[in-house]
Chains A and B, each alone.
Chain A
Amino acid sequence: MAGVCLIFALWQIGFETFGPLVLPAPLDALERLAHIVAVPSGLDYILITARRAFAGFLLASTVGIFFGLIAGWSNTLSLLCKPFITVALGVPPIAWIVLALLWFGGGDGTPVFTVFISTIPLIFAGALQGVRMREKELDEMAQSFHVPLLQRFWQVQAPQIVSYLFPAWATALGLSWKVVVMAELLSSTRGIGAGLAEARVNIDTAATMAWIVVIVGLLLVIEGILLNPVKDYVEGWKHAD
């Protein structure tokens, strides 16, 4: 909370030094923000963006984890996948947007696809690493007790995989939120990105900052209500003392 206040303080200093065209007054931006949230279309934009980001992210999580697990269990596949991961991580999201625009046009397809394609390598690599880095000794121990395969997976392997997967998953969630706005800015007529595009056309720095506050604020909320509880749950044993 103190950090947030500090940022607003610096913002205020910036405004007083450079004037409202470069940085609008924080209060102006907040006022604009209240205005955006108050009208139905503004709220709609936020919901549309959130829906797209989550759709892409969930799709990437499902597909990425599924194939990551499969690839992790096979030496050949994991070697085979390496160049694909490198290529997928190397292609900038902006290039995917151009391709997606050609493929999907201006609807939901472009932002969802862009989020999907730019987060899936992270999630896939996280799951793959989790499987490969697990302690083989524990597998051997479970095998010595003849613990059935399914229990072995959930109780011995899954917790180790999750501890690798989780950081990648958290990074991917943050990334999906940024990428969706970028994709919308270039391709959509609705959504937070579209709101930003509008603000740009009108050289409306107050609205721009208001949208930025929305984006960052939502990211903080997601972290607080979704990531941290999950993190506490899956990593509770690490801070047991």
Chain B
Amino acid sequence: MPTETAPLLSVMPSVSSETQPSVLSVSVTDHRYHPLQQTLAPCALELKKGEVVSIIGPSGCGKSTFLRIAAGLIEASAGTVTSIADRTAILFQEHRLLSWKSLLNNISFGLQGQKLSKLERMTKARTVATAMGFAEEDLIKYPSELSGGMRQRGALARAMAIEPDLLFLDEPFSALDIGRRRDLYRLVLHEVDQKQCSVLMVTHDVTEALALSDRVLIMAPDPGHFSKEYEVPLMRSERTRRNLMDLEASLLADDRIAHLFNMRNWERLV
């Protein structure tokens, strides 16, 4: 285990106050893909401005479905979604870059949903790409010529180019190594601090959820419902690997949650 005690992520914590109106409020009362099989039981969520909320749960528990409903990609069988966000972006588990477009054209692709001239789109895409740490020669490359980490960073740049005030993350970091992952965490959190962007994230990585979020919702399957809500007690700037381990331990100390993740006696590796 790393013994590093420096802050895991050197960013300022967000200021979330209870009085602010919700940027997003989701209330699903029922959702099913198949008439006889309920995917989601009633579950509700309020997301404040500048807040980062994670949904964690075992694979197949319905968390991605909930995110897709919240993002407006699909409609719940019964329920409502209200959002006051002007611009919404989604980062998917796969990068979903268009393989026939260069990186720069991929980054500017999402801007077509706004009323901008081609020149404005290109300028904006270039600015964002530079801010995301892409070199000039990367911009003309096709996705097939980029590494996995760069592709996902390109997808993040495409999402950030539209300057979202609401960002959905559907396990976008799960295929990356720890270093690339940390780069992307920084980039996302920077956006959260700068623009007070709200984030709803789905992940199956408990540590990731604890590192990034203000609040963690735990979803249990059959049918999907929130079984627990956990406010992360530390400010983001105070979180370190060491105290995150303690947080994780306290979270998994709850027998129901340990059971959910098959993590009874979790101190043992196997």
Contact = CB atoms under 8 A, between A and B. Distances in A.
B75 to A, nearest CB: 13
A238 B99 CA distance: 8
Nearest to A239: B144
B144 A159 contact: no
Contact of B113 (A138, A140, A148): A148
Contact of A240 (B71, B90, B92, B144): B144
B99 A147 contact: no
Given A141-B96, A156-B98, A241-B145, A147 B73 contact: no
B158 to A, nearest CB: 8
Contact of B144 (A141, A151, A237): A237
Instruction: For chain A, give the interface size range.
Output: 10 to 19
Interface residues of B, number: 23
A166 to B, nearest CB: 13
A77 B141 CA distance: 39
Contacts of B94: 137
A145 B113 contact: yes
A148 B112 contact: yes
B198 interface: no
B79 interface: no
**Residue in A137, A145, A155 with the greatest tally of chain B CB atoms within 10 Å:** A145
Interface in A182-215: none
Interface in B177-194: none
B162 interface: yes
B98 A138 contact: yes
A237 B96 contact: no
Interface in B57-104: 71, 73, 88-90, 92, 94, 96, 98-101
A142 B111 CA distance: 10
A147 B110 contact: yes
A152 to B, nearest CB: 9
A145 B162 contact: yes
Contacts of B162: 145
Given A237-B142, A237-B144, A240-B145, A147 B100 contact: no
B109 A138 contact: no
Nearest to B105: A155
B48 to A, nearest CB: 22
A145 B112 contact: yes
Contacts of A146: 113
Interface of A: 137-138, 140-148, 151, 155-156, 159, 237-238, 240-241
